[in-house]
Structure 1
């Protein structure tokens, strides 16, 4: 009886994984609106009852695809491991960039395409992606950027650094090897590409940090501003 239960669980996990993979591939091509559950079930070799069992409904399946897509690019466990390591902040950032570059070199491109489709025309499902994957990961990355810039965690300028660091990496994932300039850019080795993106990111972060320190020095020289109290 115990062996039968384990076999059923394994089969259920395999079915869920197959449905999720198939849905991601189809949504990347057709978009969410053009990918009904019947299409997913037919290609995945599953029935509608399996989709409803594992994902609840069509919206639940799409939300699971978004979450899985984000995990495929970089998993939260990987970020936690990097963030908690004893590496210097700059080396932590380099390791994060290495994960992005490695994701871009893979043959399975549907996670990137699905995410960009949602980001270009966001709907209510993006809230699940934000709450489950994006925000928790950003909160782990933020202290790394704070260490490089010396900005306090509540400074809006530090939060502004997050998209500035991540956008070039995400753009690279989307471009892949399918646009003219990528033939030049991606002619670099993986190590060279990581070094390029890391240098670009650290340069910007250090500039932000320098500006922050200059403001502190200026404030110390001029003293507090009481004009707002008059």
Structure 2
């Protein structure tokens, strides 16, 4: 295949993803038809089957793109491999993520929120593949900070506590005017620093508690 044809194909695939993402964010997957997607993308109906293997494949790709917009696996791996203190890795993680989380008028968060509150087999498939790989990278970073083994059951609630504020920030894109919406007015770097400070304080408290329990 020539470079030009590959480029055209990539562009078509990208247009379909963007169109599907915008429509699903507005209407939900069940109420978004293939015809509406290709009309917005200005491509042929057959392009969905060609690039995604069908409607289910397209939705799986949309979910993957929605999550990757905020948490790109390659970026995450690069953070984990940084030659610095693991606490600094956590700071870079929050900075990278929060800058994207406070963006306005993007479809990615709305799509993922819809799927979380009305989960389908596609979400399970995502968590079993890409989601698991990303989770393992985050687990590795937090394991380094806490000095807990990656398979230590104590580490799981630590991971949840670190990631949960970020999930809440995604949800503020859907919130009506009020305190939650005001979170998005805080400068991204300031918010990232707060998340880092708060998370590290919690993780250090867990470490202290673990040491006290082991000494008894």
TM-score bracket, normalised by the shorter chain, equals over 0.9
CA–CA distance in 1 between the matches of 2:88 and 2:176?
30
| 2:84 alignment counterpart | 87
Q: Deviations over 1:56-104 (max 9, x none)?
A: 1111100000011111111111111110111111110111111121112
What's the TM-score once normalised by structure 2's chain length? 0.93
The one of 186, 189, 204 aligned to 1:206: 204
Give the structure 2 partner of residue 228 of structure 1: none
Which residue of structure 2 aligns with residue 179 of structure 1? 177
Describe the shift of the 1:187–1:45 C-alpha distance in structure 2 as closer, same or farther (beyond 3 A). closer
Match of 1:62 in 2: 59
CA drift at 1:132: 2.8
How far has the Cα of 1:190 moved from its partner? 2.1
Backbone CA RMSD of aligned residues: 1.6
Gaps of 5+ in 2: none
The residue matched to 1:81 in structure 2 has which SS?
A: helix
Contact 1:67 1:132 in 2 (8 A): no
More deviation, 84-93/11-20: 84-93
**What are structure 1's unaligned runs of at least 5 residues?**
219-230
Alignment map for 1:1-230 (pairs within 5 Å): 5-176=2-173, 179-182=177-180, 184-218=182-216
Q: How many residues align?
A: 215
The answer to whether the Cα contact below 8 Å between 1:28 and 1:110 also exists between their aligned partners in 2 is yes
Structure 1 position 35, deviation (Å) = 0.7
Over alpha carbons, which structure has the higher Rg? 1
Question: Quick one: distance in 2 between partners of 1:216 and 1:164?
Answer: 22
- What is the rounded CA distance, in whole Å, between the counterparts of 2:81 and 2:111 in structure 1? 30
Asked if the contact 2:94–2:196 (Cα under 8 Å) also holds between the matched residues in 1, the reply is yes
Where has structure 1 moved over 4 Å in runs of 4 or more?
A: none
**Maintained 8 Å contact 1:104/1:172:** yes
| TM-score w.r.t. length of structure 1 | 0.88
